[in-house]
């Protein structure tokens, strides 16, 4: 049964993990064996050091016959024996050199004890120790009796000469000098203590010399053992060092072999995995390219195995769904194109209707302008004649005529007010028509912002006072001049103030000016009924009317703000409106400065 891609990946990971595990195990075994061998090597080094110290103290003893040197020889000999025995205990397969070293140490011990005069019996008198004690007593005698210092020093020189050579002649000279000093020297016989010390020295010297003669047979074995100790301990240390190096070499070879084997297996597995993945992927890629080119290519999932069969089945299903989606999108695209054509036709129709409406209003306004002007003029003439004509004279004598004159005067005032409103609407329509036709030339000049606001606010001050509205004029005196057409800009702010007065019942109306981003910004704000937050742009559309929230009436035609925006744009500026229902409106007009305008 062929392995799937997942199974091959798992096998590859298992081989890698097994290789690392084997390397780890080998490293642990190497570490343990190396530590054990290193401990044995340290013991061998300790045995060698103790043997060297033992030989050094041996020489000190034979030169001075010092009891401390004798004790040091025995101590170092015991330490060396302990190190060798520890090697034998810790290493069941110990090197034969450890047995040889232990034998040499024991032979050295036996020979040294025989030469040094140690009988092994703790109750027996030790000739060596007795000789050393008597020699030290003789040195102390020289300190207590200065007259014997020269003779004792000569005796010490003869003693060292004999100990160094070991010949019978030097022994006889030493004995004669000690006897001569005991029997009496140039100054006469020594005192009682001196005689006793010299007698004990001669007796101990004789015993020690006899013991040296008896130990002659052990000297050869001692010398042989002493000479062999250093080479055998060094060979033992070198043997364990070689064993440690061999362990390191073997483990290095094992690590290399395992890593090489794992590398070969990984390479083979990777190649097989690559073949198992790359071939079906290449076939799927070619199928995808044919699909992109629009060529018909049915994907058969049965041609694949393992995970790629499921993948091919999913791709085939996706391909079918994609084709169905493409057909559906094509149908919707055709439908959207038809709707777009209809929308374009509707837009063109709406634009045509708007143009026709504007042309109609312009034509009607032109036709209304002359008779309306005549009607307003005749009404003004009639009001003057009522005030200064014959009827005014007769009204002073007849109450009925006075009442009739007052009614006529009131009706004429209404006619004049409504006529002015209608004239203003007609002017707005004509202004907007001229702007749309780009038939409204501008006369740019340097204008003071305060002058524009004052001229625009003058017609509305009486209406503000009648409603009890406060008018706030916040225009800095150092504000740079504007560049624009005086009459057109007065028209813009007249429209803004007119709307503010219309829709504000109480509170205030304010005009504020300042600089922002290199342009003059003049804001008209009120505390009126406000506008919805999403209507900031819609209020500038033609014929858009919000109306009065209390009466529902819609004063005007809804073209004043549209005309104002058209004028501001012709000046290279911008106009925006911000407000919330019941919280008033703030309309900002940004206009170029005279010094910055092209």
Q: Which letter, b or e, does each residue of 231-252 get, where b requires 16 or more Cβ atoms within 10 Å of its Cβ?
A: ebbbebbebbbebbeebeeebe
Q: What pLDDT score was predicted for residue 435? A: 58
Q: What pLDDT score was predicted for residue 523? A: 93
At residue 162's C-alpha, the angle toward residues 159 and 167, to 5°, is: 155
pLDDT > 70 fraction of the chain, expressed in percent and rounded: 75
Token pair in block for residue 261? 């084997």
pLDDT, tens digit (0-9, with 9 covering 90-100), for 67-111: 787 788 888 888 888 888 888 888 877 778 888 878 878 877 777
The model scores a pTM over 0.75: no
- 329 against 368, higher pLDDT: 329
Edge to edge, the sheet with strand 585-592 lists 470-474, 508-516, 519-526, 585-592, 574-579
**Whether pLDDT at 35 is above 80:** yes
Measure CA 234 to chain center.
59
Q: What pLDDT score was predicted for residue 158? A: 84
Q: Comparing C-alpha atoms, which of 277, 281, 257, 279 is closest to residue 269?
A: 277
pLDDT, tens digit (0-9, with 9 covering 90-100), for 507-552: 999 999 999 988 999 999 999 888 887 777 778 776 666 655 444 4
Handedness of CA 17, 22, 26, 32 (dihedral sign): positive
Q: Which letter, b or e, does each residue of 49-88 get, where b requires 16 or more Cβ atoms within 10 Å of its Cβ?
A: bbbbbbbebbebbbeebeeebbebbbebbebbbebbebbe
Categorize the per-residue pLDDT at 167 as very low, low, confident or very high, splitting at 50, 70 and 90.
confident
Average of per-residue pLDDT across 236-256: 84
Q: What pLDDT score was predicted for residue 208? A: 72
Which 3 state secondary structure label does DSSP give 300? coil
- 370 against 410, higher pLDDT: 410
Q: Which of 22-26, 184-188, 262-266 has the lowest mean pLDDT?
A: 184-188
Distance CA 125, CA 116 (A): 13
Measured between alpha carbons, how far is residue 183 from residues 193, 199, 409, 570 in Å? 13, 10, 183, 153
Which residues lie closer than 8 Å to 499 by C-beta, 6 or more apart?
Answer: 560, 561
Q: For strand 508-516 and strand 470-474, is the pairing parallel, antiparallel, or unpaired?
A: parallel
Handedness of CA 392, 393, 396, 401 (dihedral sign): negative
Average of per-residue pLDDT across 257-265: 83
Q: Comparing C-alpha atoms, which of 27, 37, 42 is closest to residue 244?
A: 37
Q: What pLDDT score was predicted for residue 373? A: 73
pLDDT, tens digit (0-9, with 9 covering 90-100), for 471-514: 999 999 888 999 988 888 888 898 889 888 988 988 999 999 99
Q: Residue 212 in contact with residue 101, Cβ under 8 Å?
A: no
pLDDT, tens digit (0-9, with 9 covering 90-100), for 101-114: 788 788 777 777 76
Q: How far apart are the first and last CA of the chain?
A: 86
**Whether pLDDT at 34 is above 70:** yes
Distance CA 530, CA 582 (A): 5
Average of per-residue pLDDT across 378-402: 69
Transcribe 94-140 into DSSP letters.
--HHHHHHHHHHHHHHHHHHHHHT--S-TTS--HHHHHHHHHHHHHH
Q: What pLDDT score was predicted for residue 583? A: 81
**Whether pLDDT at 387 is above 90:** no
At residue 508's C-alpha, the angle toward residues 482 and 493, to 5°, is: 30
């Amino acid at each position: 049964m062929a392995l799937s891609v997942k199974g091959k990946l798992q096998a590859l990971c298992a081989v890698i993990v097994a290789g690392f595990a084997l390397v780890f195990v080998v490293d642990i075994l190497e570490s343990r064996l190396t530590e054990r061998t290193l401990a044995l090597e340290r013991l061998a080094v300790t045995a060698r050091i103790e043997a060297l110290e033992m030989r050094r103290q041996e020489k000190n003893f034979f030169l001075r016959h010092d009891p401390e040197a004798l004790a040091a020889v025995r101590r170092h000999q015991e330490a060396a024996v302990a190190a060798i025995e520890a090697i034998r205990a810790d290493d069941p397969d110990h090197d034969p050199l450890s047995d040889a070293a232990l034998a040499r140490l024991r032979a050295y011990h036996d020979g040294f004890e025989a030469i040094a005069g140690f009988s092994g019996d703790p109750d027996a008198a030790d000739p060596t120790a007795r000789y050393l004690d008597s020699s030290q007593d003789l040195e102390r005698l020289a300190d207590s009796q200065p007259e014997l210092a020269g003779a004792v020093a000569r005796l010490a020189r003869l003693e060292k000469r004999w100990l160094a050579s070991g010949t019978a002649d030097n022994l006889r000279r030493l004995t004669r000098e000690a006897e001569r000093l005991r029997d009496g020297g140039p100054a006469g016989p020594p005192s009682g203590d001196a005689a006793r010390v010299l007698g004990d020295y001669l007796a101990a010297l004789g015993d020690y010399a006899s013991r040296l003669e008896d130990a002659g047979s052990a000297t050869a074995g001692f010398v042989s053992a002493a000479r062999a100790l250093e080479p055998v301990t060094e060979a033992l240390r070198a043997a364990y060092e070689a064993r440690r190096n061999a362990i390191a070499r073997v483990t290095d070879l094992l690590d290399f072999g395992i890593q090489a084997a794992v590398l070969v297996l990984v390479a083979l597995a990777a190649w097989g995995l690559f073949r198992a993945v790359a071939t079906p992927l290449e076939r799927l890629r070619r199928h995808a390219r044919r699909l992109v080119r629009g060529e018909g290519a049915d994907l058969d999932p049965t041609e694949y195995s393992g995970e790629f069969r499921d993948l091919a089945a999913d791709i085939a299903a996706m391909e079918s769904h994609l084709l169905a989606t493409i057909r559906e999108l094509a149908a919707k695209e055709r439908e959207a194109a038809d709707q777009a054509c209809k929308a374009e036709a509707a837009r063109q129709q709406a634009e045509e209707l708007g143009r026709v409406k504007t042309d109609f209003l312009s034509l009607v306004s032109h036709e209304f302008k002359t008779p309306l002007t005549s009607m307003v003029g005749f009404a003004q003439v009639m009001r003057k004649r009522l005030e200064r004509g014959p009827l005014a004279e007769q009204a002073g004598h007849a109450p009925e005529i006075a009442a009739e004159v007052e009614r006529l005067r009131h009706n004429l005032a209404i006619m004049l007010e409504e006529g002015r409103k209608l004239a203003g609407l007609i002017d707005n329509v004509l202004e907007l028509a001229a702007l749309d036709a780009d038939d409204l030339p501008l006369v740019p000049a340097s204008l003071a912002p305060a002058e524009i606001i004052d001229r625009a606010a003058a017609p509305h001050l009486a209406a503000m006072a009648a409603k009890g509205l406060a008018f706030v004029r916040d225009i800095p005196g150092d504000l740079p001049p504007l560049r624009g057409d005086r009459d057109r800009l007065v028209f813009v702010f007249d429209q803004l103030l007119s709307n503010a007065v219309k829709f504000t019942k109480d509170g205030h109306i304010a005009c504020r000016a300042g600089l922002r981003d290199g342009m003059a910004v003049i804001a008209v704000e009120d505390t009126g009924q406000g506008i919805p937050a999403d209507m900031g742009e819609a209020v500038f559309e033609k014929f858009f009317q919000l109306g009065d929230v209390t009466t529902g009436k819609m004063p005007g035609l809804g073209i004043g703000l549209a005309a104002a925006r058209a004028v501001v744009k012709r000046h290279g500026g911008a106009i925006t409106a911000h407000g919330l229902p019941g919280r008033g409106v703030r309309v900002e007009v940004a206009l170029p400065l005279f010094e910055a305008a092209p």
